[in-house]
Copies of this chain bind each other. A is one copy, B any other.
Amino acid sequence: MKKTIFTLSLFVLLIACNQQTQTGEIKVTNIKELNDAIKNSKAGDQIVLANGTWKNVEIKFRGKGTKNKPIILKAETAGKVSIEGKSYLKFGGEYLVAEGLYFKNGYSPSNAVVDFKISHKDTLDEIANNCKLTNCVIEDFNKPKRDKSDLWVQFWGRHNELSNCYIAGKTNRGPTVRVSIAGIESINNYHQIVNNHFGPRPVKGGPSGETIQLGDSYTSMSPSHTMVANNLFEECNGEVEVISSKTNFNVFKNNVFYKSEGSLVTRHGNYATIDGNYFIGDGVNENYGGIRIINTGHWVTNNYFFNLKGKSFRSPLAVMNGIPKSPLNRYNQVTDVVVAYNTYLNCSSPWQFGVGTNIAQADVLPKSEIRSARAIRTTVANNIVYNEKGLDAIVVENDKADGVVFKSNIVDNKGVKFKDFNNGLIGASLELKKLSDNIVLPVSIPNDVEGYDGFDFNTIKTDLFGNLRQDTKGIGATVDEITASPNILDKSKYGASWYSNEIEDKEPTTYIVSTTDELRAKISEADDFDIIKLNPGNYNLDSSLVINKKININSDDKSNTTIYYTGAENTPLFELHPKGFLWLNKISLKGNMSNYAFASLKENMSSHFRLTVSNSKISDFNYVLKVYKESFAERITFQNTNILNCLNGLELSEETNDKGDYNTEYLMIHNCTFLNVSKNVIDYYRGGYDESTIGGNLELYNSTFAKCGAKEENGILINTRGIINVDISNNTFMDNPVKLVALLWGAKNNSHSNNQISNSGEIKVEENLKLKLMY
């Protein structure tokens, strides 16, 4: 009896304990259950979403957890709950955690996919504090229209966290992640953005394609204290700024920037700490950036720059000129910046100062746009620069670096002389030690170079690898004790535990087709990278072929393989959909003078397309290529191809709202012939003056234009207005009834050489093109 009572008591006790400490685990299978669960949730609860697809779910995750008992919203199995369709997740409250979710095949109907605030019109917003999104993936969750702006993760409040997530594929307008700090509720936020894998963000073709933006110019006076650490940024190519820091006291630590076509930019705001990051290039691509400095009081320490070929805005260290008394949204002068204990290995132009100086444009720009204020009170000390092949200049002075103190920087320039700034750059011969493919460290630092002891340098206590700097603090990013490779590109260290963006190589399938029906069927059936091979013959199509995957269409001989397109007027033979990549080789295409050879969708181009046409012949179309507004291709290539008897050529000029957007990053025309194309022979447009957009690229080489442009209203054969990089070389222009072959923009990277022009107007260069200011 006694024992029974004891047992019973124990049982009651256990139940009591259970009720008190057991976290309620509530499994939900649909949005109604989820909403109910959220509504009834209390600290310590775990709401479990059943595996499967959750479509069109607008999740408002509100509640009040505690530090020790957060409320958790999680996938039954991490990665097996996909959030699709028109969906979002908003946090409002305290100590809420969401984990294991997979956002794909959809987009947010709101301003953000994940938002740390639930907004209300008439009552106070519910702002999240101490909340977390972790172990999730957001992939290709693009709004259908590129111009429609949103964010994928928007921070508000304080002490929120984005950790161990994989986020990739954003193509529409707007930074991928933004920390918003408008409002005192969101200052001094100490948010954590850590251990994430930011996967490829394709070139956006215009501004507002940052991967992370911390604040904006209007809040650039506010203390943010956001921590961005231990993230991998892989191919984050959206625009020139991978990270745009626009508030005060942000910290960027131990991140890896891998083949990312942009820079970490202290765009607005001050007192950033940029410590121990890796910027890894490939020795070729000039678009991979480093750190671009604007404003006051930043410390750039212990960073490692490898094989970067960027220059100017994209230099490993680009220190900009400011605008005197700058407007709030423009460029403050650089002051009080410290660049110390960094290592630059085989970079083309390690340090540039006076970047963005535009004194020469004083005539065409208002005074409030002229960047003439050089960096002052700035220290560059104790860095190492190693160049396998000596550079003419270690420091490039776009404007004088007379406000910069150089001290105790060691440079191995392989004997090539360089300006030493009062012995602030000291030549030396260094050995290299290779830790891994991307981590090669100069060693054997000469003992007789004493490190400079700048103001507050005693606060720099560790090196790139976190090793303690001893009393003699050393020079360069690492103290002279080589450790094992940090394995910075081991992707398992970043992002969601259940997801990898590494795809297995797959052997492409080749489908051989002989009829129009087969052609259409196999295109539909094929997987990415498969090949459709056309047997010789004529293929007659009366409606478009949809290209919504990566596909290769070719034949052995264009002269006997022709696709005749008789589809309706203004419809394309090849309709390029989002993610449609088409490689076309050795095919003849022939239209009916009213339809198109290639076109993007008129709308809902939620992702990029790509087009490569080689060794082909295109004739009798209204348009060869029509790219509609808000469509974007990273690359459009025509090579060894004849284009003839078309009303219009390549038309990429619909981004006329002059916000800096354009329709393709690279337009490559090599070894082509254009004969009898009446207008828009090449029409490629970018509008809006924005000094930091550096895109739009036209390469026009070795091609021939004859009898083209007869109906061109503006009288220009090759229209490239606003495109930053244009090279027109080794072409032949004959008998084109136009006023100008091209009008180039001298102040930008426009050039022409070795063209044969007869009876075709001329190529004119205008130094300063007047454009609408974007700001």
Contacts and interface: CB of A to CB of B under 8 A. Distances in A.
A336 B183 contact: yes
Contacts of A382: none
A184 B456 contact: yes
A184 B328 contact: no
A112 B220 CA distance: 33
A645 interface: no
Nearest to A268: B221
Contact of A328 (B183, B223, B325, B456): B325
A377 B182 contact: yes
B327 A377 contact: no
A325 B325 contact: no
A222 B333 CA distance: 13
A222 to B, nearest CB: 7
A336 B187 CA distance: 10
A271 interface: yes
Contacts of A775: 325
A271 B223 contact: yes
Nearest to A127: B455
Contacts of A248: 221, 223
Interface in A114-133: none
Nearest to A270: B221
A390 to B, nearest CB: 33
Q: Taking the full assembly, how many copies of this chain does it contain?
A: 2
A42 to B, nearest CB: 23
A295 interface: yes
Question: Secondary structure of the A side of the interface?
Answer: loop
A333 B775 CA distance: 17
Contact of A377 (B184, B271, B295, B333): B184
Interface string A199-237: 000000000000000000111111100000000000000
A343 interface: no
A275 B240 CA distance: 44
Contacts of A328: 325-328, 332
Contacts of A327: 325-328, 368
A335 B333 CA distance: 24
B222 A297 contact: yes
B270 A184 contact: no
A116 to B, nearest CB: 16
A248 B271 CA distance: 13
Contacts of A335: 182, 218
A297 to B, nearest CB: 6
Interface of A: 182-185, 187, 217-223, 248, 269-271, 295-297, 325-330, 332-333, 335-336, 338, 368, 377, 455-456, 775
Given A218-B333, A327-B327, A327-B328, 4 more contacts: A184-B455, A221-B296, A222-B297, A326-B327
What 6 A-B pairs come out closest when comparing CB atoms? A325-B327, A325-B328, A184-B336, A325-B329, A221-B270, A327-B327
30 contacts: A182-B335, A182-B377, A183-B336, A184-B336, A184-B377, A185-B455, A187-B297, A187-B336, A218-B335, A219-B296, A220-B221, A221-B221, A221-B248, A221-B269, A221-B270, A221-B295, A221-B296, A221-B297, A221-B332, A223-B248, A223-B271, A325-B327, A325-B330, A325-B775, A326-B327, A326-B328, A327-B327, A327-B328, A327-B368, A328-B328
